[in-house]
Amino acid sequence: MYIDEKDPGHFIFIEEWPDRPALDKHYALDYFQRLVPMINQHKKSEPKFILMDTTVS
């Protein structure tokens, strides 16, 4: 997690997952489903998700 020094309420999370099914499984976990609404209570704006494929051939 990173905090934008010019915008203290702006947080950046960088995560690495082996594949999309693993990420989807993470999203479905009970603790994650409970955590997101708690985090969202403090959001300044709608989140932006950027999914990047880092597969190297």
Q: How far apart are CA 34 and CA 2, in angstroms?
A: 22
The string of pLDDT tens digits covering residues 10-32 is: 888 889 889 889 999 999 999 99
pTM, two decimal places:
0.64
Triad 51, 52, 57: Cα angle to 5°: 150
On whether the CB atoms of residues 26 and 17 are closer than 8 A, the answer is yes
Triad 3, 7, 37: Cα angle to 5°: 65
Checking if the pLDDT of 56 tops 70, the result is no
pLDDT for the residue numbered 8: 78
